[in-house]
Structure 1
Protein backbone atom coordinates (compact mmCIF):
# COMPACT_ATOMS: atom_id res chain seq x y z
CA UNK A 1 0.00 0.00 0.00
CA UNK A 2 1.19 3.51 -0.81
CA UNK A 3 2.99 5.44 1.92
CA UNK A 4 2.82 8.71 -0.04
CA UNK A 5 1.21 11.74 1.62
CA UNK A 6 -2.57 11.60 1.62
CA UNK A 7 -4.70 13.94 -0.42
CA UNK A 8 -8.24 15.02 0.39
CA UNK A 9 -10.92 14.86 -2.29
CA UNK A 10 -10.99 18.66 -2.38
CA UNK A 11 -7.23 18.82 -2.94
CA UNK A 12 -7.59 16.38 -5.83
CA UNK A 13 -10.31 18.55 -7.35
CA UNK A 14 -8.50 21.86 -6.87
CA UNK A 15 -5.23 20.81 -8.51
CA UNK A 16 -6.36 21.53 -12.10
CA UNK A 17 -9.57 22.36 -13.99
CA UNK A 18 -9.81 18.79 -15.31
CA UNK A 19 -9.18 15.31 -13.94
CA UNK A 20 -8.38 13.10 -16.94
CA UNK A 21 -10.47 9.93 -17.13
CA UNK A 22 -8.05 7.36 -18.52
CA UNK A 23 -8.69 3.91 -20.01
CA UNK A 24 -5.50 1.89 -20.51
CA UNK A 25 -5.34 -1.43 -22.35
CA UNK A 26 -1.55 -1.65 -22.55
CA UNK A 27 0.74 -1.33 -19.55
CA UNK A 28 3.51 -0.04 -21.83
CA UNK A 29 1.45 3.13 -22.36
CA UNK A 30 1.02 3.94 -18.66
CA UNK A 31 4.29 5.64 -17.75
CA UNK A 32 4.86 7.70 -20.93
CA UNK A 33 1.21 8.78 -20.88
CA UNK A 34 1.49 9.89 -17.25
CA UNK A 35 4.72 11.76 -17.96
CA UNK A 36 3.08 13.49 -20.93
CA UNK A 37 0.17 14.69 -18.78
CA UNK A 38 2.49 15.90 -16.01
CA UNK A 39 4.56 17.77 -18.61
CA UNK A 40 1.36 19.57 -19.59
CA UNK A 41 0.58 20.52 -16.00
CA UNK A 42 -1.92 17.78 -15.12
CA UNK A 43 -0.87 15.51 -12.26
CA UNK A 44 -4.13 14.11 -10.81
CA UNK A 45 -4.70 11.06 -13.02
CA UNK A 46 -7.78 8.85 -12.81
CA UNK A 47 -7.04 5.43 -14.28
CA UNK A 48 -10.34 3.58 -14.59
CA UNK A 49 -10.65 -0.04 -13.46
CA UNK A 50 -12.28 -0.99 -16.74
CA UNK A 51 -9.52 -3.15 -18.20
CA UNK A 52 -7.55 -6.14 -16.93
CA UNK A 53 -4.37 -4.05 -17.11
CA UNK A 54 -5.66 -1.13 -15.02
CA UNK A 55 -4.17 -2.10 -11.66
CA UNK A 56 -0.77 -2.86 -13.18
CA UNK A 57 -0.89 0.53 -14.93
CA UNK A 58 -1.67 2.28 -11.63
CA UNK A 59 1.23 0.45 -10.00
CA UNK A 60 3.63 1.44 -12.78
CA UNK A 61 2.63 5.12 -12.62
CA UNK A 62 2.85 5.20 -8.82
CA UNK A 63 6.32 3.65 -8.98
CA UNK A 64 7.86 5.43 -11.96
CA UNK A 65 6.12 8.84 -12.12
CA UNK A 66 6.36 10.17 -8.55
CA UNK A 67 5.35 13.67 -9.62
CA UNK A 68 1.94 12.32 -10.66
CA UNK A 69 -0.87 11.54 -8.22
CA UNK A 70 -2.56 8.45 -9.58
CA UNK A 71 -6.08 7.46 -8.61
CA UNK A 72 -8.45 4.65 -9.49
CA UNK A 73 -11.73 5.24 -11.28
CA UNK A 74 -14.75 2.94 -11.60
CA UNK A 75 -14.32 1.81 -7.99
CA UNK A 76 -17.52 -0.14 -7.27
CA UNK A 77 -16.71 -2.51 -4.41
CA UNK A 78 -14.64 -2.86 -1.26
CA UNK A 79 -12.35 -5.21 -3.18
CA UNK A 80 -11.82 -2.54 -5.85
CA UNK A 81 -10.80 -0.01 -3.19
CA UNK A 82 -8.42 -2.44 -1.51
CA UNK A 83 -6.80 -3.49 -4.79
CA UNK A 84 -6.42 0.15 -5.90
CA UNK A 85 -4.72 1.11 -2.64
CA UNK A 86 -2.39 -1.88 -2.83
CA UNK A 87 -1.43 -0.83 -6.37
CA UNK A 88 -0.47 2.64 -5.15
CA UNK A 89 -3.58 4.69 -5.90
CA UNK A 90 -4.00 7.75 -3.71
CA UNK A 91 -7.60 8.61 -4.51
CA UNK A 92 -10.67 6.83 -5.82
CA UNK A 93 -13.59 7.81 -8.02
CA UNK A 94 -16.81 5.79 -8.11
CA UNK A 95 -19.67 5.84 -10.65
CA UNK A 96 -22.20 5.78 -7.81
CA UNK A 97 -22.20 5.73 -4.03
CA UNK A 98 -22.74 3.08 -1.37
CA UNK A 99 -21.81 3.41 2.31
CA UNK A 100 -19.73 0.24 1.96
CA UNK A 101 -17.53 1.73 -0.77
CA UNK A 102 -17.22 4.95 1.20
CA UNK A 103 -16.08 3.09 4.31
CA UNK A 104 -13.74 0.85 2.31
CA UNK A 105 -11.94 3.90 0.90
CA UNK A 106 -11.63 5.39 4.38
CA UNK A 107 -10.26 2.10 5.70
CA UNK A 108 -7.44 2.04 3.13
CA UNK A 109 -6.75 5.78 3.16
CA UNK A 110 -8.11 6.70 -0.27
CA UNK A 111 -9.77 10.07 -0.81
CA UNK A 112 -13.08 9.30 -2.55
CA UNK A 113 -15.11 11.23 -5.10
CA UNK A 114 -18.43 9.36 -5.06
CA UNK A 115 -20.72 9.53 -8.07
CA UNK A 116 -24.23 10.99 -7.72
CA UNK A 117 -27.02 11.74 -10.19
CA UNK A 118 -29.99 12.60 -7.95
CA UNK A 119 -30.81 14.64 -4.88
CA UNK A 120 -31.40 11.48 -2.84
CA UNK A 121 -27.93 10.18 -3.73
CA UNK A 122 -26.38 13.49 -2.69
CA UNK A 123 -28.17 13.24 0.66
CA UNK A 124 -26.91 9.69 1.19
CA UNK A 125 -23.34 10.78 0.44
CA UNK A 126 -23.70 13.75 2.80
CA UNK A 127 -24.97 11.45 5.57
CA UNK A 128 -21.77 9.45 5.15
CA UNK A 129 -19.63 12.59 5.41
CA UNK A 130 -18.82 13.22 1.74
CA UNK A 131 -19.21 16.82 0.56
CA UNK A 132 -17.11 16.64 -2.64
CA UNK A 133 -18.96 14.59 -5.24
CA UNK A 134 -18.77 13.49 -8.85
CA UNK A 135 -21.89 14.42 -10.85
CA UNK A 136 -22.26 11.48 -13.23
CA UNK A 137 -23.28 11.11 -16.00
CA UNK A 138 -23.23 14.90 -16.03
CA UNK A 139 -24.59 15.73 -19.47
CA UNK A 140 -27.21 12.98 -19.49
CA UNK A 141 -28.34 13.75 -15.91
CA UNK A 142 -29.14 17.40 -16.51
CA UNK A 143 -25.89 19.22 -17.22
CA UNK A 144 -25.19 22.73 -15.94
CA UNK A 145 -28.89 23.42 -15.40
CA UNK A 146 -29.14 20.59 -12.85
CA UNK A 147 -26.06 21.82 -11.00
CA UNK A 148 -27.56 25.32 -10.85
CA UNK A 149 -30.73 23.87 -9.36
CA UNK A 150 -28.75 21.96 -6.75
CA UNK A 151 -26.79 25.04 -5.66
CA UNK A 152 -29.69 26.08 -3.42
CA UNK A 153 -30.52 23.00 -1.35
CA UNK A 154 -26.97 21.63 -1.56
CA UNK A 155 -25.12 24.91 -1.07
CA UNK A 156 -22.33 23.15 0.86
CA UNK A 157 -21.49 20.55 -1.82
CA UNK A 158 -18.76 20.84 -4.44
CA UNK A 159 -18.99 18.89 -7.68
CA UNK A 160 -16.79 17.38 -10.37
CA UNK A 161 -19.11 16.82 -13.37
CA UNK A 162 -18.04 13.83 -15.49
CA UNK A 163 -19.70 12.14 -18.44
CA UNK A 164 -20.26 13.94 -21.72
CA UNK A 165 -17.91 16.76 -20.71
CA UNK A 166 -15.69 18.01 -23.55
CA UNK A 167 -13.12 20.73 -24.08
CA UNK A 168 -15.91 22.80 -25.65
CA UNK A 169 -18.60 22.50 -22.95
CA UNK A 170 -16.26 22.30 -19.94
CA UNK A 171 -16.30 26.12 -19.50
CA UNK A 172 -20.10 26.00 -19.02
CA UNK A 173 -19.61 23.68 -16.06
CA UNK A 174 -16.52 25.41 -14.66
CA UNK A 175 -18.33 28.77 -14.59
CA UNK A 176 -20.68 27.44 -11.88
CA UNK A 177 -19.74 28.31 -8.28
CA UNK A 178 -20.41 24.76 -7.04
CA UNK A 179 -18.11 23.16 -9.65
CA UNK A 180 -14.42 22.86 -8.74
CA UNK A 181 -13.26 20.82 -11.74
CA UNK A 182 -14.58 18.46 -14.39
CA UNK A 183 -13.65 14.94 -15.42
CA UNK A 184 -12.88 14.34 -19.07
CA UNK A 185 -11.56 11.64 -21.35
CA UNK A 186 -10.52 13.97 -24.15
CA UNK A 187 -7.04 14.52 -22.68
CA UNK A 188 -6.02 10.94 -23.47
CA UNK A 189 -7.53 9.97 -26.84
CA UNK A 190 -7.36 6.29 -27.70
CA UNK A 191 -5.61 6.96 -30.99
CA UNK A 192 -2.92 9.06 -29.27
CA UNK A 193 -2.22 6.11 -26.97
CA UNK A 194 -2.09 3.64 -29.85
CA UNK A 195 0.24 5.88 -31.85
CA UNK A 196 2.40 6.81 -28.85
CA UNK A 197 1.71 10.48 -29.59
CA UNK A 198 2.77 11.75 -26.19
CA UNK A 199 3.35 15.29 -27.49
CA UNK A 200 -0.33 15.51 -28.42
CA UNK A 201 -1.35 14.46 -24.91
CA UNK A 202 0.94 17.11 -23.43
CA UNK A 203 -0.59 19.70 -25.76
CA UNK A 204 -4.12 18.72 -24.73
CA UNK A 205 -3.12 18.95 -21.07
CA UNK A 206 -1.70 22.45 -21.57
CA UNK A 207 -4.88 23.57 -23.34
CA UNK A 208 -6.92 22.21 -20.46
CA UNK A 209 -4.91 24.12 -17.85
CA UNK A 210 -6.07 27.38 -19.41
CA UNK A 211 -9.79 26.62 -18.99
Structure 2
Protein backbone atom coordinates (compact mmCIF):
# COMPACT_ATOMS: atom_id res chain seq x y z
CA UNK A 1 0.00 0.00 0.00
CA UNK A 2 1.36 3.40 -0.97
CA UNK A 3 2.15 6.13 1.55
CA UNK A 4 -0.52 8.33 -0.04
CA UNK A 5 -3.17 5.64 0.40
CA UNK A 6 -2.16 5.14 4.04
CA UNK A 7 -2.29 8.89 4.63
CA UNK A 8 -5.80 9.03 3.21
CA UNK A 9 -6.84 6.21 5.53
CA UNK A 10 -5.38 7.99 8.56
CA UNK A 11 -7.12 11.22 7.60
CA UNK A 12 -10.47 9.45 7.22
CA UNK A 13 -10.03 7.84 10.64
CA UNK A 14 -9.11 11.12 12.35
CA UNK A 15 -12.14 12.86 10.84
CA UNK A 16 -14.64 10.32 12.20
CA UNK A 17 -15.14 12.11 15.54
CA UNK A 18 -13.62 14.95 17.59
CA UNK A 19 -11.94 12.50 19.98
CA UNK A 20 -10.00 9.25 19.64
CA UNK A 21 -10.15 7.50 23.02
CA UNK A 22 -6.80 6.26 24.29
CA UNK A 23 -7.61 3.01 26.09
CA UNK A 24 -5.57 1.09 28.65
CA UNK A 25 -7.33 -2.24 29.10
CA UNK A 26 -6.43 -4.93 31.65
CA UNK A 27 -9.30 -7.37 31.13
CA UNK A 28 -10.02 -8.76 27.67
CA UNK A 29 -13.62 -9.41 28.68
CA UNK A 30 -14.17 -5.66 28.93
CA UNK A 31 -13.01 -4.93 25.38
CA UNK A 32 -16.15 -5.70 23.39
CA UNK A 33 -18.76 -4.05 25.66
CA UNK A 34 -16.47 -1.03 26.09
CA UNK A 35 -16.07 -0.64 22.33
CA UNK A 36 -19.81 -1.06 21.76
CA UNK A 37 -20.47 1.69 24.30
CA UNK A 38 -18.02 4.03 22.57
CA UNK A 39 -19.51 3.36 19.13
CA UNK A 40 -23.04 3.84 20.49
CA UNK A 41 -21.92 7.20 21.86
CA UNK A 42 -20.64 8.34 18.48
CA UNK A 43 -16.93 7.51 18.88
CA UNK A 44 -15.95 4.81 16.34
CA UNK A 45 -12.15 5.14 16.21
CA UNK A 46 -10.58 3.52 19.28
CA UNK A 47 -6.88 3.39 20.16
CA UNK A 48 -6.00 0.43 22.39
CA UNK A 49 -2.53 0.98 23.82
CA UNK A 50 0.08 -1.75 24.07
CA UNK A 51 0.61 -1.07 27.77
CA UNK A 52 -0.96 -4.25 29.11
CA UNK A 53 -0.79 -7.97 28.38
CA UNK A 54 -4.46 -7.89 27.34
CA UNK A 55 -4.05 -5.29 24.59
CA UNK A 56 -3.58 -7.48 21.51
CA UNK A 57 -6.40 -9.84 22.47
CA UNK A 58 -8.62 -6.84 23.11
CA UNK A 59 -7.84 -5.49 19.64
CA UNK A 60 -8.57 -8.89 18.13
CA UNK A 61 -11.92 -9.12 19.92
CA UNK A 62 -13.03 -5.60 18.99
CA UNK A 63 -12.01 -6.08 15.35
CA UNK A 64 -13.98 -9.32 15.14
CA UNK A 65 -17.09 -8.50 17.15
CA UNK A 66 -17.87 -4.77 17.25
CA UNK A 67 -19.71 -3.46 14.22
CA UNK A 68 -18.80 0.11 13.38
CA UNK A 69 -15.60 0.17 15.41
CA UNK A 70 -12.32 1.21 13.82
CA UNK A 71 -9.83 -0.23 16.26
CA UNK A 72 -6.25 0.93 16.29
CA UNK A 73 -3.16 0.21 18.34
CA UNK A 74 -1.26 2.72 20.44
CA UNK A 75 2.15 2.86 22.11
CA UNK A 76 3.73 1.22 19.06
CA UNK A 77 7.49 1.25 19.64
CA UNK A 78 8.93 -1.35 17.25
CA UNK A 79 8.49 -3.35 14.07
CA UNK A 80 7.40 -6.27 16.25
CA UNK A 81 4.59 -4.17 17.75
CA UNK A 82 3.46 -3.04 14.31
CA UNK A 83 3.37 -6.58 12.93
CA UNK A 84 1.56 -8.01 15.96
CA UNK A 85 -1.08 -5.29 15.81
CA UNK A 86 -1.68 -5.84 12.10
CA UNK A 87 -2.07 -9.57 12.71
CA UNK A 88 -4.58 -8.84 15.49
CA UNK A 89 -6.77 -6.80 13.15
CA UNK A 90 -5.82 -3.23 14.00
CA UNK A 91 -6.78 -0.68 11.35
CA UNK A 92 -4.27 2.00 12.31
CA UNK A 93 -1.23 2.41 14.55
CA UNK A 94 -0.08 5.27 16.77
CA UNK A 95 3.40 5.86 18.18
CA UNK A 96 4.52 8.31 20.89
CA UNK A 97 7.55 9.24 18.79
CA UNK A 98 9.53 7.63 15.99
CA UNK A 99 12.76 5.79 15.34
CA UNK A 100 14.48 4.86 12.07
CA UNK A 101 13.59 1.18 12.58
CA UNK A 102 9.92 1.93 13.24
CA UNK A 103 9.63 4.17 10.19
CA UNK A 104 11.28 1.52 8.02
CA UNK A 105 8.82 -1.07 9.34
CA UNK A 106 5.91 1.28 8.66
CA UNK A 107 7.10 1.70 5.07
CA UNK A 108 6.86 -2.08 4.63
CA UNK A 109 3.53 -2.46 6.44
CA UNK A 110 -0.01 -1.99 5.19
CA UNK A 111 -0.99 -0.63 8.60
CA UNK A 112 -1.23 3.19 8.46
CA UNK A 113 0.91 4.89 11.12
CA UNK A 114 0.15 8.09 13.00
CA UNK A 115 3.65 8.99 14.24
CA UNK A 116 4.32 11.17 17.27
CA UNK A 117 6.18 14.47 17.17
CA UNK A 118 6.84 17.13 19.80
CA UNK A 119 9.10 19.65 18.03
CA UNK A 120 9.08 21.53 14.73
CA UNK A 121 12.18 19.62 13.62
CA UNK A 122 10.45 16.27 14.25
CA UNK A 123 7.37 17.46 12.36
CA UNK A 124 9.53 18.52 9.40
CA UNK A 125 11.45 15.23 9.36
CA UNK A 126 8.20 13.25 9.29
CA UNK A 127 6.76 15.52 6.61
CA UNK A 128 9.80 14.80 4.42
CA UNK A 129 8.83 11.11 4.62
CA UNK A 130 5.25 11.86 3.58
CA UNK A 131 3.52 12.04 6.96
CA UNK A 132 1.01 14.88 6.66
CA UNK A 133 -0.92 13.60 9.68
CA UNK A 134 0.88 13.33 12.99
CA UNK A 135 0.27 12.89 16.69
CA UNK A 136 1.38 15.84 18.82
CA UNK A 137 2.59 14.23 22.04
CA UNK A 138 2.69 14.94 24.92
CA UNK A 139 0.41 17.78 23.92
CA UNK A 140 0.03 19.80 27.10
CA UNK A 141 3.56 19.38 28.52
CA UNK A 142 5.10 20.02 25.07
CA UNK A 143 3.45 23.41 24.61
CA UNK A 144 -0.25 22.81 24.18
CA UNK A 145 -2.55 24.65 21.84
CA UNK A 146 -0.28 27.70 21.71
CA UNK A 147 2.55 25.68 20.15
CA UNK A 148 0.25 24.02 17.63
CA UNK A 149 -1.17 27.41 16.71
CA UNK A 150 2.35 28.72 16.11
CA UNK A 151 3.05 25.80 13.75
CA UNK A 152 -0.06 26.40 11.64
CA UNK A 153 1.46 29.13 9.44
CA UNK A 154 4.94 27.74 8.71
CA UNK A 155 3.74 24.10 8.52
CA UNK A 156 0.25 24.30 7.00
CA UNK A 157 0.63 20.93 5.25
CA UNK A 158 0.59 19.03 8.56
CA UNK A 159 -2.51 18.24 10.62
CA UNK A 160 -2.42 16.84 14.12
CA UNK A 161 -4.13 14.68 16.69
CA UNK A 162 -2.81 16.20 19.94
CA UNK A 163 -2.74 13.73 22.82
CA UNK A 164 -1.52 13.95 26.38
CA UNK A 165 -3.10 15.90 29.23
CA UNK A 166 -6.24 16.88 27.29
CA UNK A 167 -9.67 16.76 28.93
CA UNK A 168 -13.28 17.35 27.93
CA UNK A 169 -12.91 20.93 29.14
CA UNK A 170 -9.64 21.72 27.36
CA UNK A 171 -10.34 19.82 24.12
CA UNK A 172 -12.19 22.70 22.36
CA UNK A 173 -9.10 24.90 22.68
CA UNK A 174 -7.28 22.41 20.46
CA UNK A 175 -10.19 21.54 18.17
CA UNK A 176 -10.64 25.18 17.14
CA UNK A 177 -7.17 25.24 15.55
CA UNK A 178 -6.99 24.90 11.75
CA UNK A 179 -4.27 22.23 11.95
CA UNK A 180 -6.08 19.94 14.41
CA UNK A 181 -8.44 17.23 13.15
CA UNK A 182 -9.22 15.61 16.49
CA UNK A 183 -7.72 15.03 19.92
CA UNK A 184 -6.72 11.89 21.76
CA UNK A 185 -7.93 11.40 25.31
CA UNK A 186 -8.02 8.81 28.06
CA UNK A 187 -10.96 10.37 29.91
CA UNK A 188 -13.57 8.42 27.91
CA UNK A 189 -12.57 5.07 29.39
CA UNK A 190 -11.48 5.70 33.00
CA UNK A 191 -10.14 2.73 34.93
CA UNK A 192 -12.97 2.75 37.46
CA UNK A 193 -15.67 2.53 34.79
CA UNK A 194 -13.85 -0.30 33.04
CA UNK A 195 -13.38 -2.17 36.32
CA UNK A 196 -17.04 -1.71 37.31
CA UNK A 197 -18.38 -2.54 33.83
CA UNK A 198 -20.12 0.85 33.67
CA UNK A 199 -20.85 0.74 29.96
CA UNK A 200 -23.68 3.29 30.23
CA UNK A 201 -21.25 5.69 31.87
CA UNK A 202 -18.71 5.19 29.07
CA UNK A 203 -21.40 5.68 26.46
CA UNK A 204 -22.36 8.97 28.11
CA UNK A 205 -18.74 10.14 28.12
CA UNK A 206 -18.56 9.22 24.44
CA UNK A 207 -21.71 11.23 23.69
CA UNK A 208 -20.21 14.27 25.41
CA UNK A 209 -16.99 13.86 23.43
CA UNK A 210 -18.74 13.35 20.10
CA UNK A 211 -20.62 16.61 20.62
CA UNK A 212 -17.42 18.63 21.02
CA UNK A 213 -16.55 21.31 18.54
CA UNK A 214 -13.92 23.99 18.33
Q: What is aligned with 2:45? A: 44
Find the aligned partners of 1:30 and 1:106 in 2 and give their Cα distance: 29
What TM-score do the two structures reach when normalised by structure 1? Answer: 0.95
In structure 2, how many angstroms separate the alpha carbons of the residues matched to 1:203 and 1:70?
20
Q: CA RMSD in A?
A: 1.1
Following superposition, the deviation at residue 8 of structure 1 comes to 1.1
Q: Residue 8 of structure 1: SS of its match in structure 2? A: helix
Q: Secondary structure at the match of 2:181?
A: coil
1:189 deviates by 0.7
Matches within 5 A, 1:37-186: 37-186=38-187
**Distance (whole Å) between structure 1 residues aligned to residue 152 and residue 38 of structure 2:** 32
Matches of 1:78 and 1:152, distance apart in 2? 34
CA distance in 1, matches of 2:208, 2:37: 13
Q: Secondary structure at the match of 1:109?
A: coil
What's the offset of the Cα at 1:108?
Answer: 2.5
Residue 101 of structure 2 aligns to a residue whose secondary structure is helix
- Other-structure match for 2:10: 9
Q: Return the alpha-carbon distance in structure 2 between the equivalents of residues 102 and 71 of structure 1.
A: 17
TM-score, reference length from structure 2? 0.93
User: What SS does structure 2 have at the residue aligned with 1:16?
Assistant: coil
Alignment size in residue pairs: 206
- SS, match of residue 178 in structure 2: coil
Conserved in 2, the CA contact under 8 Å of 1:90 and 1:110? yes
Give the ranges of 4+ consecutive aligned residues of structure 1 lying more than 6 Å apart after TM superposition: none
- Alpha-carbon deviation of 1:90? 0.6
Q: Separation in 2 of the partners of 1:149 and 1:13?
A: 21
Following superposition, the deviation at residue 100 of structure 1 comes to 2.8
CA distance in 2, matches of 1:12, 1:76: 21
**How far apart in 2 are the matches of 1:123 and 1:99?**
15
Structure 2 gap segments, 5+ residues each: 1-5
List alignment gaps of at least 5 residues for structure 1.
1-5
Q: For residue 139 of structure 1, give the secondary structure of its aligned residue in structure 2.
A: helix
Query: In structure 1, the residue corresponding to 2:140 is in which secondary structure?
Result: coil
